[in-house]
Amino acid sequence: MMKVAAIQHDIAWEQPEKNFSLLAPLIEQAAGDGARLIVLSELFSNGFSMNTKHISETLDGASTQFLIQQATELGVWICGSVPILSRGNDLPHNSLVLADPDGNTLRYEKKHLFGYAGEDKHYVGGSAPLTVEVEGVRCSFFICFDLRFGPDFWDIAAATDLFIVVANWPEVRRNHWKSLLKARAIENQAFVLGVNRIGEGDGLTYSGDSRLYGPMGKTISKASKNQTQILLSDIEPSTVTEVRSDFPFRWLNSR
């Protein structure tokens, strides 16, 4: 069993240092409560900004260093997404950075860019999925708009116990957020954790609605709307094995 903490938090627009200061005590509290994996939101240090000339960072930039520092000092795994410029690209990737207790990092680059907001004009899309075993739990990571693309989840479901989706998902479509998270849990027979921001940014309002669904679609835990909150949940991978054994849907038979 592994305890995961979803930190539902506000984001000061394009002010990384302020966000680091706001998040550090919440991360420390989550670690003190026993969390082994701590999850922040999409673009946790800036908000969902298209001002990439201003906010982009290098591979070892301030936001990544903040995650590494928190992971090593507290002895935990921690993740959140960061606008990272990689060699050969003029535009950054929206990259989920996962730091481990030894200071190593892995990245997932957001595959599906939200063209409705112009993300495809300011960021470069990725392609390769990321699945990592964290404290005995096989975790796969996605970012916000990726949630709408079910086949990407199906393709790696057999190797996944817990899907993690970090987001800046606007309140106006909060029903889609909750419904799609639940759908991904049911159809993949896996835990699905959605971690969304609260507050306002660039004229949009975010309600949070962070939550964890179990492999049968049951709501395991959920954060209050519009409140900064640490959502602590236990993930038991044997539950996924049992559900898939009891209900062996045809598409899982190729495992």
Whether 42 is a known active-site residue: answer yes
> What does the H/E/C string look like for the chain?
CEEEEEEECCCCCCCHHHHHHHHHHHHHHHHHCCCCEEECCCCCCCCCCCCHHHHCECCCCHHHHHHHHHHHHHCCEEEEEEEECCCCCCCCEEEEEEECCCCCEEEEECCCCCHHHCHHHHCECCCCCCEEEECCEEEEEEEHHHHHCHHHHHHHHHHCCEEEEEECCCHHHHHHHHHHHHHHHHHHCCEEEEEECEEEECCEEEECCCEEECCCCCEEEECCCCCCEEEEEEECHHHHHHHHHHCCCHHHCCC
* Set 57, 79, 110, 139: catalytic member: 110
Whether 110 is a known active-site residue: answer yes
* Set 109, 119, 139, 144: catalytic member: 144
For the annotated catalytic residues, the residue numbers are 42, 110, 144
